[in-house]
Structure 1
């Protein structure tokens, strides 16, 4: 899994080296973002930074797909998706986190959530700060997952105006969308399309379809508000994405920036 991710990054790096001379090269280099979310932290918090997953118990559904990403600037991103409910729509919460007593991860929000960081995992703690026990105890353990992406670089893209980013595998591809300006698609073979962003039709809370055209090609981008799991790393993002380009269909996962 890790080898495949590195292979994609190397292939996109080769494309960059072979086409030096302008903005296109920077976009190709950016498309291989796969650094650890904790790469920029120094000190005790560095060991806890990263992304973690589990399936939480649910009273009226088969389970809750849960992912918590702890980023280098001490922001967090929490994803929840209820199985067999709401078309597996992802619910996102963001905020700040801190590490207490070198082992307790605390999400700073109105109702603080605490986890014990131990052996590279996160263990949910109850309101009294104790580990959850009993038959469902294993469901409250979050295990590390790769593929969290280059958080700092995605933040830079957001500051530059990008609204949405998506990635897929086999073959590897990335897409960057500025809903007010341009859409840019690139695959690992070097095929790409840059076009003004069209109005999505349809455009609903759960489905958006963009049809972008240039003189040489057409691209159809479909974004569904349905939790998506990367088929290599297992990392989850809140949107399922499909791209139709040059008689080929690409599938992957996306997120708002």
Structure 2
């Protein structure tokens, strides 16, 4: 059994990758979830089962929060909880794209203390432990230093650039997009993009792992209004996300509030 939570998450992410990749090119049994009409595949469910069994067997006293699991009432009283998205970017997975990820985190008292985002097709494994920095494939990563929106390359959806979101004026950024929210967060942590933001209510399993990668890489990461992100909430959604180095974060937030 791995001696610490980060090592456990890394092992679990690699096992998840083996499971997901076995479905590539085969039947996916795609269905839409009744609650929100988003797609789920046989691969999502198989990965979820593998992660649940592996992680809960190793840490039976931890709570469990996953996009593909029924609610676990025990997570509200557990000191630590796994927060998991078995496949983040399911639509990309269905379409045969590369940018889908496994996103795994351990939360303690509302804060993420260990995190992994793994993109197996792209051979990228991002990992962080609280106070230990962030790494990509074992090498340290850090956020970029661009401090002005006019020079910033950001990851965001097109609707996020609509004027009604920006009382202080739409920032003159260069916008790009990636289908996995966890990957967007990771790319900012890596310094390949300067910021990311989303203004829709955001599920914890999409952002928990990436939020620690960002903070350990030197970013400021908050909700859309600059509020602190807290995880394992009774209703596990955040009020959007804004992430960038502290100076750029402040410049973007000034236009939002």
TM-score (norm 2): 0.26
Higher strand share: 1
Report which of the two structures shows the higher radius of gyration computed on alpha carbons.
1
Higher RCO (Cα < 8 Å, 6 or more apart):
2
TM-score (norm 1): 0.26
Higher helix share: 2
